[in-house]
Amino acid sequence: MINQVILSELLDNNKQAYEGYTKVSGELQKELFKTFLMNRKASSFLDICFKTISDNFTLPLIINKGNYYELVKFVNLKDIEPEIKEKLDYLIQYLK
């Protein structure tokens, strides 16, 4: 389902581009994904992903935009961009 959303929302239904995307390594897929999201709001992408999951499984939405911050606990620290980590560290120091 996520791949369906990637195809439709990030690759504008370009099946050839999607085929190429699926053939590259996982690391390169991550980098391409970040590039695809640069001109879009990540929350908009997540809205569509969770709506697609909800619709396909006929379940209520499990999370909404106001709670996306809860997903951070599933992020590997090494995947956080250094600039973001720096800003978060600064906030922690400031809020102590």
Helix (H, G, I), strand (E, B) or coil at 91: helix
Residue pair 18/6 in contact by the 8 Å Cβ criterion = yes
Query: What's the pLDDT tens digit per position in 27-68?
Result: 899 888 888 888 788 888 899 989 998 998 998 988 988 999
Taking 80 as the threshold, does the pLDDT of residue 91 lie above it?
yes
Residue 77 is part of which domain span? Answer: 2-95
Per-residue confidence (pLDDT) for residue 42, from 0 to 100: 82
Per-residue confidence (pLDDT) for residue 19, from 0 to 100: 93
Helix (H, G, I), strand (E, B) or coil at 38: coil
Number of domain units in the chain: 1
Give Rg (Cα) of the chain: 16
How much is the average pLDDT of 78-94? 87
pTM score, whole prediction: 0.67
